[in-house]
Amino acid sequence: MAKTPVNFTLNGSPRSAFAGPGQNLLDFLRREVGDLTPKFGCGQGTCGACTVTIDGATHLSCLVLAESVEGRAIGTAAGLPDGATLDPLQEAFMDHFAAQCGYCTPGMLVSARALLDANPRPSRDEVIEAISGNLCRCTGYEPIIAAILAVAEGRARA
Amino acid sequence: MTLHKGRGFAAINYPIGMNLGGDPSQALVHSNPDGKFTVALSAIDLGQGMKSVTRQIAAETLGVPIADVYVDTADSDTGPHDMGSFASRGTHRMGNAVIRASEEARQVMLEAAAEELEVDAGDLVTDGQGNIHVRGAPSRTITTMAASQAAQFKQGRTIAGRGIFLVPLSDVDPETGEMSPVTTFAHAAMLVTVEVDDETGEVAVTDMQSAYEVGRALNPKLVEQQLRGGAWMGMSHAAWETTEPHYPARDHRPEDFNTYLMPGPGDIAPHHISILERPAEDGPYGGKGPGEMCANPVLPAVVNAVYDAVGVRIDELPVTPEKVLRGLQANGGAKPRQAL
Amino acid sequence: MRDMTADGPMVEFRKDLFADERDDNLNEIGKPTRRQDAPGHVTGRSPFFDDHLFDGLLHLRCARSPHHHARIRRIDTSAAERMPGVVRVLTGRDVPVNLNTLLSLLDFGLDDEPLLSESKVAYMGEPVAAVIAETEAEARAAAAAVQVEWEVLPHVLDVEEAIKPGAPAVLDIYPNNKFVYHGKYDHQKLRYGDVDQALAQADHVVEGRYQMSPIEQAPMETCGAIAAPEQNDRYVCYTSTQALFFSLGTAAKVLSLPSSRLHFVGGTVGGGFGGKVDSIHEPLAILGAMLTGRPVKYAWDRAEEMQVGAPRGAERWYVTDGVMNDGRIVARKFTGYFDSGAYTRLSSYAIIKGVGHLPGPYTIPNVYADVYCVYTNRSPATAMRGFGITGVDFAIEAHMDKVAETVGMNPIELRILNAYRDGDMKAHRRLAKNCALIECAQVVAEKAGVTIAPELKSAASARDGGGPRAALPAQTATDTEGRVEGFAATSYANKSATSDAPQPPHAPPPATPARHPPPATPARHPPQAPAMTSGQRPPEGGSMPPSGGPPPAPQPPKKPARSGAMRFSSLSGFRRR
């Protein structure tokens, strides 16, 4: 079957690539576009390791048909830094030792950034709600929650 | 509906660096001409912090700043033999191998410095800030970078070291089980508080108070990562996880995270950790591996707390609402004990 | 709960304890230095195995048994081979040495598990063929098209059912579904003192039965490997293994390749927890690359990870304690069953680890254990965090609670009263040192506001141990229950013929920590050369010594064993030729 050209923006830059028939957005981003920050954890929308934003809202890229992002704005963890400057969330994750194996980290950061963009001063419960679709097997979540709250309370960036 | 509070206690020890196979770990350390060191290993970092803890061990032993050390693992073409990261052998076995490799490299670096300073290498000390100086005479000094450059370009020395740590194979007596399984043990004690709902059978862990003895916290934040995450996993084993949730037939087996359950960020309990350090004589800087033992006290502490709360003994994990309700039914209702 | 943070008061360091045993003035050790890999993790640039991209990557998926136990009458791959995108279909015939046991690299156990099964399957999900195709979807569809003619056999899923007479035989090479220890017994024994006599004299006898659940390691990254032909007739393999040379050695063995032709790259792994030791993906991915000349990826999806991937095996423990009215435990007896599933993997080793751990962190003068590695028609079990210990610690510590209730004692006091101390003799006949159980219990009691008796509050691990507590039992009751005939004395770590009991010093060893490790303590008895058994390949240039008995010889390798796995014991000179 023929591949389908898909035009979209990735972290603000216009991109085009060919999507295979039935290819999901996760596989498309990793194999065809070369953005390796979304990770495969389950392929069933249950772990959150592949979390990206589409037009600013979080989505599980393993459940999104690649062809369907034509003309839309995709955001991944690769887009978090501002040039060479890391996002405060990335700094906070390092400072709070919120990453162990690091596999859930990009998806977790995308969810956390989406939360803070929509709600700059979330409560602890709101942080928990925002990351409850992102599974982590290493940390027990507490350092992740602490890192996100630290950024929310410090608000280095709006 | 009534929520019953209960407390349960457990204490454990854990064998560090299981050695019945006699399998050693190896490490190689070498310096670039500018005094920056590479540690080559075949150990695996699966999140526990292998790269980071060996980096700190190498920096300490070499006597150089942490920024001057990078750990490269794992590539079988460059990293020497190591069976793997399991059985709490990573920090213990590999840490010791890195100490030995770093000592050998450090010796060459000091000899190079001694030649430049025209002193005896035995009189030199490192300050951990990138300087080598004569003991008691800090003004007679050379940087580790200058010593490395001199070694490379003037003296023709290789600043490198090899390390291996082997505890020989232990035999096991078939008749009595006599053996030397390990050389050191880590320790932990844990008190958990639970709330048991006598209508739904649900058990919530609401507080954890722990003490973990880890030999030495080589990096306190890495240790905390293990203890916090490991205790979470223990809570998960106690009351959430099984590959066969309710039925004996495997047809009902879980195949994804919708059916294989683990506590989420909304289910976690505050965990108050105390860390004790009694250095192990053969641990790297006294360190023991904290990563495996941390879950173990939580499982029994939870079932003991359920008994304390409602008088139901659950001897088959995991603690499920069904088991709690069946126990309550058999007992004719909750029989709170509040013994702790 | 809501005001908690991961920092500050949630963690405290009790530097006051054991302060005289530590030098706290080190440069780097003890510092909360940021992880070396933190920048890679937070930017998503840490290179996990699947982050290596290859043009022309092929995908491998296995066809698996739908039955718990079945004989394979015929495998027909012809329909699968005709499916779109299929490049190659592998069966057991394509595997150079299609029988292995993971611990053969440590010279422990008999080869028992095929990479791709040819004649029989012993668990649901056991692979019988591997399809290599252009896309994952095509590989998946073609794997479903592999046709197998099965003869379904009776199966057994419970450890105690499996060892009953007449139970279905899971493995042919071990009798009665039990691993054979030391070529001699169908279980590992621990005998220390005379438990039955002590139980008879105890004020109370407390019994319990405990069941640990099978648990999935559930790393966020599933297990997998990508192999590709490298220049100069070598194969590179990017892998999620948590045991690089276990995987390399296993691949070398089953593919009959010298290790010099294999280049393994890993070290950045998305969680393992014990589930990434089994070295299943690397050999198949490399074999695929060898036979297709293209890069091949073999990775589990989440369902395979959860159900085919080896779990922490279930354990069942029976514990009987003899306890005096004052709370002293005078006897502890265990019967343990590890559910190894259909193959050995690492369970046999975990049992030795577990037996060396008994009776837990307590000084008990009479200890007895029979621990069985039992085969059932479940997914093979393997390592998981706390392997060999977590299950029995659950049993011991749940049991301690019952003992405390029986004698009417505070559970923390009971632990401190019975805790092991420096210089005490342990049941595996080595002296305890560097103990800290008492201090951990005291700290928790203090934090949780539990009042404990003054003499226990002031107890210390470094005091009041040794002396009479260092003595070996006057007499140890031994037996030959579970004797198995017909096995060569092998399977790792033989006891030398002359057994002299250790003579413990009557004072605890000095507890001064060394900054640098002293030379390792040698084993008391130099390990004897394990004899060859029929399940093991002859060493290079050697010949197979006579086998001790009837286990049927597994299929011999198709090529002379010039290359492949070197066993540690051989390398270490433990094996005599």
Between residues A24 and C567, the one the model is more confident about: A24
What percentage of chain B has pLDDT greater than the value 90?
88
Nearest chain B residue to C430, by CA: B180
The mean pLDDT of chain A is: 95
Q: For Cα atoms B221, B223, B225, give the angle at the middle one, nearest 5 degrees.
A: 70
Portion 92-121 of A in contact with C at CB < 8 A: 93-97, 99-106, 109
Contacts of C349 (CB under 8 A, 6+ apart): B20, B21, C103, C106, C108, C388
For chain C, 577 residues long, the average pLDDT of each consecutive 10-residue run is 47 97 95 98 98 97 97 98 98 98 87 97 97 97 98 97 97 92 94 98 98 96 98 95 97 97 98 96 98 98 94 96 98 98 95 96 98 97 96 98 98 98 98 98 97 97 97 96 82 38 39 40 38 35 36 40 38 26
**Helix, strand or coil for residue B71?**
strand
- Token pair 């040495």: residue: C97
**Helix, strand or coil for residue B131?**
strand
**Residue C317 to chain B, least CA–CA distance (Å):** 10
Residue type, B116: E
The shortest CB-CB distance from A138 to any of B47, B231, B268 is to B47
Q: At what angle are helices A124-131 and A105-118 packed, to 10 degrees?
A: 130
Nearest chain C residue to B7, by CA: C448
Q: Which CATH class is domain B18-165?
A: alpha beta
**Residue C392 to chain A, least CA–CA distance (Å):** 23
**Helix, strand or coil for residue C545?**
coil
Q: Cis omega before residue B181 (within 30°)? A: no
DSSP letter for each residue of B99-118:
HHHHHHHHHHHHHHHHHHHT
Q: Quote the pLDDT of residue C488.
A: 73
Helix residue spans in C132-243 (DSSP H):
136-144, 159-162, 195-201
DSSP letter for each residue of C405-452:
HHHT--HHHHHHHHB--TTPBPTTS-B--S--HHHHHHHHHHHHT---
Nearest chain C residue to B71, by CA: C36
Closest to C210 measured CA to CA, from B317, B245, B308, B191: B317
Q: Which CATH class is domain B3-15+185-331?
A: alpha beta
Nearest chain A residue to C220, by CA: A41
**Helix, strand or coil for residue C172?**
coil
Q: At what angle are helices C244-255 and C281-292 packed, to 10 degrees?
A: 50
- Domains belonging to chain A, first-starting first, are 4-79 (3.10.20.30), 88-154 (1.10.150.120)
Cα-trace Rg, chain C: 26
Q: Quote the pLDDT of residue C549.
A: 38
Residue C235 corresponds to which tokens in the numbers above? 């194969």
Q: What is the CB neighbour count within 10 angstroms for residue B120?
A: 11
DSSP letter for each residue of C266-282:
--B-S--TTTT-S--HH
Could you tell me if C215 and C390 are in contact, meaning their C-beta atoms sit under 8 angstroms apart?
A: no
Q: Quote the pLDDT of residue B17.
A: 83
Closest to A42 measured CA to CA, from A150, A129, A146, A137: A137
8 Å CB contact of A128 and B257: no
Q: Name subunits touching B (3+ CB pairs < 8 A).
A: A, C
Per-domain boundaries in chain C: 57-153+217-307, 159-215+311-470
Helix (H), strand (E) at residue B272 = strand B271-276
Q: What is the pLDDT of residues B74-106, one digit of tens each?
A: 999 999 999 999 888 899 999 999 999 999 999
Q: Which CATH class is domain C159-215+311-470?
A: alpha beta
Three-class SS of C322-371: EECCCCCEEEEEEEEEEEEECCCCCHHHHHHHHHHHCCCCECCCCEEEEE
The shortest CB-CB distance from C220 to any of A34, A103, A142 is to A103
Residue/partner pairs of C547-551 with CB below 8 Å, 24 or more apart: C547/C488, C548/C183, C548/C486, C548/C487, C548/C488, C548/C489, C548/C490, C549/C485, C549/C486, C549/C487, C549/C488, C550/C486, C551/C110, C551/C172, C551/C173, C551/C486, C551/C487
Nearest chain B residue to C305, by CA: B255
8 Å CB contact of B47 and A143: no
Q: Name subunits touching C (3+ CB pairs < 8 A).
A: A, B
8 Å CB contact of B15 and C389: yes
CA dist., res. B179 & res. C148, Å (int): 47
Nearest chain A residue to B257, by CA: A46
Residue B291 corresponds to which tokens in the numbers above? 């990563």
Q: What is the CB neighbour count within 10 angstroms for residue C59?
A: 21
Closest to C378 measured CA to CA, from C171, C140, C209, C532: C171
8 Å CB contact of A139 and B264: no
Could you tell me if C271 and A105 are in contact, meaning their C-beta atoms sit under 8 angstroms apart?
A: no
Tell me whether the CATH fold assigned to B3-15+185-331 matches the one assigned to B18-165.
yes
Residue C545 corresponds to which tokens in the numbers above? 């010594």
Q: Quote the pLDDT of residue B19.
A: 67
Q: What is the pLDDT of residues B124-170, one digit of tens each?
A: 999 999 999 999 999 999 999 999 999 999 999 999 999 999 988 88
**Looking at the complex, does the CB of residue A79 fall below 8 Å from at least one CB of chain C?**
no
Closest to B318 measured CA to CA, from B203, B213, B225: B203
**Residue A132 to chain B, least CA–CA distance (Å):** 6
Helix (H), strand (E) at residue A105 = helix A105-118
Q: What is the CB neighbour count within 10 angstroms for residue B247?
A: 9
Could you tell me if the ipTM is greater than 0.95? Answer: yes
CATH architecture designation of domain C57-153+217-307: Alpha-Beta Complex (3.90)
Q: Hey, of A40, A108, A142, which one would you mutate to test binding to chain C, going by the most C CBs within 10 A of its CB?
A: A40
The shortest CB-CB distance from C219 to any of A95, A137, A145 is to A137
Contacts of B140 (CB under 8 A, 6+ apart): B117, B119, B133, B134
Q: Quote the pLDDT of residue B246.
A: 65
The shortest CB-CB distance from C48 to any of A95, A103, A135 is to A103
CA dist., res. C38 & res. A145, Å (int): 17
Portion 8-27 of A in contact with C at CB < 8 A: 20, 22
8 Å CB contact of C44 and A36: yes
Q: Quote the pLDDT of residue C309.
A: 94
Lowest average pLDDT, out of A91-105, B281-295, C515-529, goes to C515-529
Tell me whether the CATH fold assigned to C57-153+217-307 matches the one assigned to C159-215+311-470.
no
8 Å CB contact of A37 and C4: no
**Residue B232 to chain A, least CA–CA distance (Å):** 5
Measured CB to CB, residues of chain C less than 8 Å from chain A are: 2, 4-7, 10, 34-35, 37-46, 48, 50-51, 53, 135, 137, 218-222, 268-273, 301-302
Task: For residue C34, list chain B residues with Cβ-Cβ distance below 8 A.
Answer: 52
Could you tell me if B165 and B183 are in contact, meaning their C-beta atoms sit under 8 angstroms apart?
A: no
8 Å CB contact of A103 and C44: no
